[in-house]
């Protein structure tokens, strides 16, 4: 019970007062999600309009015929509707806008990835959008909406990586980390690189790993360890080091296997680093006019110090 | 009236249950939920594809040989999709062949294309790569190995 209580306290953190920096950070984080949701749905739409049938439908496409999305450029119409909905959500014009955008984004994903292979690059973005949707639907207080969305996101980041580690251990076992497996993947991804660019080439790190099985094993073991430790981010004190380890893992995956999880890494950077504290410090240093529009009424300005009688922190 | 904390916990647990039910019944994938199964099967052989322009017309009845590799990125086509469609064509799905022709329509207007499958597998302490031409694409025709030579 104590563990669970500590988990919920660390995830949602409702008892801790919110600083202006946290408010500003959240709006920037939300803006990041909105911008990349819009970018993804247009990218998917422009690709899907070249297709004429959902060859291997998945998601809701397994239950409802979504082939109509590929006719008359409806994937582009869908992208435009999602763009408008994200704007409405961002401007708080509708509590339902994000949820509607989330559902339509699922359809857009189905339309794009219906050829037999799915990609995971936008999964974290989708989970965060779901967290934003639920936050707006379930709570009235903006402070609670923000805390819920971040807690929800931390939870599913931790869970997702832990499931990835479990999949490896269940699918292969502890010898998953055998360095020769990495050799196979390096070759596989190099062939993909050849198909994409017309050139077959290995970088210096790949050459090194291909010649040193011990090093390859070490890299795989570290990656597996980083994924398995991801649930620790549910607790504040471990959040930054574990998220930085996950970012390091993605950088390694990119350098060694050429697989780029751009959106994952960008979002993890936002979640890992103490942006809110930096913004608070920046505001307190007197360069605050830019941010004042983001700070809701009632929040003390960090430069003004704490109200008399308070514990020295800004009030909620 | 429930507190934000208990409402948050309920929402999280409800989402978790939906997540669990959907990935358990959809082979680990139901966007944006996933158990991220990629790379879970380590050490298994794989097959990928590279598209080549056809070197030159042959007149002796043999299959054309692969010429210059075709870069898919400038065409905005993903290698993953070409690999998935080629696998479907090899399994007898001609509809996927039409998809392939449509995705590669621009280069097909210039050259015939040969899809070469590359199989990789671990052999002792090396990775063995085997190249196997599988599909010849023309704007209006698709020929599968081991179909008799065109």
Q: At what angle do helices A20-48 and A97-112 cross, to 10 degrees?
A: 40
The 8 Å CB, 24+ separation contacts for B88-94 are B88/A55, B88/A56, B88/A116, B89/B134, B89/B135, B89/B142, B89/B144, B90/B134, B90/B135, B90/B144, B93/A55, B94/B142
The span from the CA of A152 to the CA of A156, in Å, is 6
How large is the ipTM? Answer: 0.86
Residues of B in contact with A130 (CB under 8 A): 15, 32
Interface membership of B67 toward A (CB under 8 Å): no
- Structural contact between residues B134 and B117, judged by C-beta atoms closer than 8 angstroms: yes
Do B83 and B59 belong to one domain?
yes
**Residue B145's pLDDT band (cuts 50, 70, 90):** confident
Do B78 and B13 belong to one domain?
no
Do B79 and B112 belong to one domain?
yes
- Is residue B77 in a domain? yes
Calculate the CA dihedral of residues A315, A280, A155, A231 and round it to 10 degrees.
-120
- Is residue B40 in a domain? no
Mean pLDDT over each residue of chain A, to the nearest integer: 90
Q: What was the pLDDT predicted at A309?
A: 39
Do B119 and B80 belong to one domain?
yes
- Structural contact between residues B116 and B50, judged by C-beta atoms closer than 8 angstroms: yes
Q: State pLDDT tens for residues A57-68.
A: 889 999 998 889
Q: Is B51 helix (H, G, I), strand (E, B) or coil?
A: strand
The span from the CA of B131 to the CA of B119, in Å, is 7
**Residue A290's pLDDT band (cuts 50, 70, 90):** low
- pLDDT(A295) > 80: no
- Is residue B41 in a domain? no
Number of domains in chain B: 2
Q: Which residues pair with B48 in a beta bridge?
A: B118
Do B22 and B65 belong to one domain?
no
Do B18 and B69 belong to one domain?
no
Residues of B numbered 126-145 whose beta carbons fall under 8 angstroms of chain A's beta carbons: which are they? Answer: 127, 129
- Domain extent, residue B87, equals 46-144
Q: What was the pLDDT predicted at A54?
A: 82
Minimal Cβ distance to B5: which of A8, A159, A184? A8
Q: What was the pLDDT predicted at B46?
A: 93
The span from the CA of A252 to the CA of A143, in Å, is 36
- Is residue B51 in a domain? yes
Do B61 and B130 belong to one domain?
yes
- Is residue B139 in a domain? yes
Do B26 and B78 belong to one domain?
no
Residues of A in contact with B34 (CB under 8 A): 120, 123, 160, 163
Mean pLDDT in residue range A286-300: 62
Contact B99 A139 (CB under 8 A): no
Interface membership of A212 toward B (CB under 8 Å): no
Do B27 and B76 belong to one domain?
no
The residues near A126 (Cβ < 8 Å, ≥ 6 apart) are A102, A105, A106, A109, B31, B32
Do B51 and B30 belong to one domain?
no
Mean pLDDT in residue range B121-139: 90
| Residue B148: count of CB within 10 angstroms of its CB | 8
Q: Which residues pair with B34 in a beta bridge?
A: B29
Residues of A in contact with B50 (CB under 8 A): 191, 194-195
Do B28 and B76 belong to one domain?
no
């Amino acid at each position: 019970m104590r563990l669970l209580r500590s988990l919920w306290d660390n995830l949602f953190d409702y008892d801790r007062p919110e600083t202006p920096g946290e408010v500003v950070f959240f709006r920037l984080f939300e803006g990041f999600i909105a911008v990349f949701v819009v970018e993804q749905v247009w990218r998917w739409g422009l690709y899907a309009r070249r297709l004429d049938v959902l060859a291997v439908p998945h998601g809701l496409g397994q239950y409802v015929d979504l082939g109509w999305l590929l006719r008359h450029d409806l994937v582009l119409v869908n992208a435009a509707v999602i763009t408008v909905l994200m704007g409405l959500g961002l401007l708080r014009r509708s509590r339902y806008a994000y949820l509607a955008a989330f559902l339509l984004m699922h359809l857009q994903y189905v339309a794009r990835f219906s050829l037999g292979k799915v990609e995971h690059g936008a999964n974290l973005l989708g989970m965060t959008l779901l967290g934003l949707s639920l936050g707006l639907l379930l709570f009235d207080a903006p402070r609670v909406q923000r805390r819920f969305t971040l807690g929800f996101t931390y939870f599913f980041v931790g869970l997702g990586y832990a499931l990835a580690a479990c999949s490896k251990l269940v699918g292969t076992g502890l010898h998953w980390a055998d360095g020769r497996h990495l050799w196979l993947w390096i070759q596989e991804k190099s062939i993909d690189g050849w198909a994409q660019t017309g050139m077959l080439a290995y970088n210096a790190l790949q050459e090194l790993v291909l010649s040193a099985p011990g090093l390859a094993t070490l890299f795989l073991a570290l990656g597996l360890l980083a994924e398995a430790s991801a649930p620790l981010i549910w607790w504040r004190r471990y959040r930054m080091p574990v998220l930085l380890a996950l970012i390091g893992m993605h950088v390694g995956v990119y350098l060694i296997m050429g697989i780029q999880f751009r959106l994952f890494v960008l979002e993890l950077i936002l979640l890992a680093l103490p942006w809110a504290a930096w913004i608070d410090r920046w505001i307190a240093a007197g360069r605050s006019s830019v941010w004042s529009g983001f700070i809701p009424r009632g929040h003390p300005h960090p430069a003004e110090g704490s109200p008399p009688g308070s514990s020295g922190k800004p009030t909620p | 009236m429930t507190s934000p904390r208990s409402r948050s916990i309920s929402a999280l647990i409800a989402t978790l249950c939906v997540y669990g039910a959907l990935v358990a019944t959809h082979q680990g994938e139901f966007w944006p939920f996933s158990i991220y199964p990629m790379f879970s099967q380590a050490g298994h052989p794989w097959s990928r594809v590279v598209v080549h322009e056809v070197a030159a017309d042959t007149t002796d009845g043999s299959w054309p040989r692969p010429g210059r590799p075709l870069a898919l990125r400038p065409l905005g086509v993903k290698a993953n999709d070409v690999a998935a469609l080629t696998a479907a064509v090899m399994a007898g799905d001609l509809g996927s062949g039409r998809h392939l022709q449509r995705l590669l329509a621009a280069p097909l207007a210039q050259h015939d294309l040969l899809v070469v499958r590359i199989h990789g597998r671990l052999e002792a302490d090396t990775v063995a790569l085997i190249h196997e031409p599988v599909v010849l694409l023309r704007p209006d025709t698709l020929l599968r190995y081991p179909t008799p030579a065109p």
